[in-house]
Amino acid sequence: MEHWQAILSIVTFLGVIILIMTEWVHLTIAALLGALLLVFTNVMTLKDAVGYIGNSHGTLGLFFGVMVLVRAFEPTKIFDYIATQIVILAKGDGKRLLLGIVGIVTPICAVLPNATTVMLLAPLIPPMAEEIGINFVPLLILMVFIANSAGLLTLVGDPATFIVGDAINISFIDYLWQLSLGGVIAVATVIATLPFLFRKIWHIKLDSLEELPHPKINHPRVLTAGAVIITFVLVFFVIGESLPVPISPAAVALLGAALALLLSHHSRIDTVNNILRDVDWSTLIFFMSIFVLIGGLEKTGVINGLSGVLAIILGKNIVLGSLVLLFLVGILSSVVPNIPLVVAMVPLLKQYVVTVGLAPAEVLAQDFQGQFPAEVLPMFYAMMFGATLGGNGTLVGASSNIVAAGISEQHGRRISFKTFLHYGLPVMFLQLATSSLYVLVRFLL
C-alpha cells in the first residue's frame, strides 16, 4: 500500500472527528463525506467500502430491526403510559427518578446489548421529563452512561466486550467470575456522580402528582399481540446463539420488525411507509460511514503499524502495558465508536503479544479456539474496560450514545457534542481510574 494512501486515511479520519467535535457539520454528513473521499481518491474501491460495511452487518441489522420494532408500537401510546407510571412510582422526586433509571437499565443491559436497551427504553424519557417539566437530555445521557457501564456486567452486555471476549475464548461463566465486579464498580461510579452532575434534577420534587397527564393506551388488542412479539424477540436475544441452529440477535431483531410491520399493517394502526420513514436513517448511515473510515485505516496498514509501535514502547511489561492500554483505548474510544475500534484493536493486540514473544503465533489464526497465556489476559481485559467505559466520554464514543442522540433529535432536542462532553468527561475519567485500580489489584498484583 502506497504511503500517501495511509496518510490520507489518517488525515480523513482525524478531519471527520474534528468536524464532529466542533459541530461545523452534522456528524452523519461529516462521516459520509469522509468515507466517500476514501472511495473517490481510490484508497479503497466502492466494493471494498461495501465489504467493510458488510462485515458489520450484525450491528446494522440489529439497530434497524429494533428501530422499526419500537416505532411500530408508538401509536398505542404505551411509551407515554409507562413513562407516567414511572414518574408516579418515583413520587415526583428527582432523586428517585434518577435512581429509578439506574435500577431499570442496569439489569436489562446485563443480558441485552446496551444500544438495544437504549433503543427500547429511550422513548420513555421525553414524555417522562415533560410531565415533570425538565429537560430530557440529561436523563438520556444518564441512561447512556448506565447502559455502557452495565454492559460490563456480563459477556453479552456490550458488543465491544463480546468481541474481545470472543477473541480470547473466555466463557460466559469465566467472565462472571473474573470481570463482572468491574461492571458493578463502573455502575457505582456513575451513581456516585448523580448528586453533582445531575444536581438540578436530583433536587426537584413535584408538589402534586394529580396534575400529571394520564395517557390512555390505544389499541389494546394490538398491543397484546405486540407484547407477544417483543417477548419472543427478548427471549431469543438471550438464547438464540446457544440453540443447535444459532440465531443471531440481528436476525431476531429483523424478524421481530417484520412481524411488527405485519401487525401494524393488518390492524391499520399505522402504515408501513410511515413507520419506515421515521426510522433513524441518520444514525444507520453514520455507522456505515465510520466502518468504512476504520476500514481505510486497516487496509492502508495504519493499524498494523501501531502494533509495532506498541512493541517498542511497552516491550514485555504486562503491568505497564495493561494500564497504558486501558487509558489509551479509553481515550481513543471517546472519539471513535467502540465497536469498530475494538474490531481494529483486537488483531493489533494479538500481533503485539506475538511480536514480543508473550504468545505463540497460533493465536493469530481466525479459528484459534485454545487458551491464551494467562499472563497476557490482563491486557485484553484492560482493553475491554477501556473500550467500553471510554465510550462514555463523548457523543460519538459508543453506539448507544449515537442512538440516544438520534432519539433526542426525533423528539425536538439535539444533544450537542459540548453538552455531552460536560457530563461525559468527568464520568469517563473517574471510571477509567476506578477500573484501572480493579485490573491492577485483581489481575496484576
Q: How many CB atoms lie within 10 A of CB 282?
A: 17
- For residues 158, 163, 169, 173, the Cα torsion angle rounded to the nearest 10 degrees is 0
Is it the case that residue 35 has pLDDT exceeding 70?
yes
Q: Which residue, chain included where needed, has cell 464498580?
A: 185
Residue 205 has φ and ψ, to the nearest 5°, of: -155, 125
Q: Is the pLDDT of residue 274 over 80?
A: yes
- Report which of 106, 422, 62, 25 is spatially closest to residue 253, judged by C-alpha positions: 62
End-to-end CA gap in the chain: 43
Model's pTM, two decimal places? Answer: 0.76
Nearest to 90 by CA among 124, 122, 46: 124
Give residue 431's pLDDT band: very low, low, confident or very high (50, 70, 90).
Answer: very high
User: Higher-confidence residue: 49 or 127?
Assistant: 49
Q: What is the pLDDT of residue 342?
A: 81
Q: pLDDT higher for 160 or 31? A: 31
Of the ranges 280-284, 405-409, 422-426, which one carries the lowest mean pLDDT score? 280-284
pLDDT exceeds 60 at position 433: yes
Q: Is the pLDDT of residue 364 over 90?
A: no
Is the CB of residue 249 less than 8 Å from the CB of residue 237?
yes
* pLDDT at position 393: 93
Tell me what pLDDT residue 427 has.
Answer: 96
Q: What are phi and psi of 93, to 5 degrees?
A: -95, 120
The residue among 437, 431, 348 whose CA lies nearest residue 148 is 431
Q: Over the stretch 225-261, which tens digit does the pLDDT of each residue have?
A: 988 998 888 788 778 777 888 888 788 889 999 999 9
Matching residue, cell 440465531: 247
The pLDDT mean for the chain works out to 85
DSSP summary character for residue 93: B
- For the stretch 305-326, pLDDT in tens is 776 777 777 777 888 888 988 9
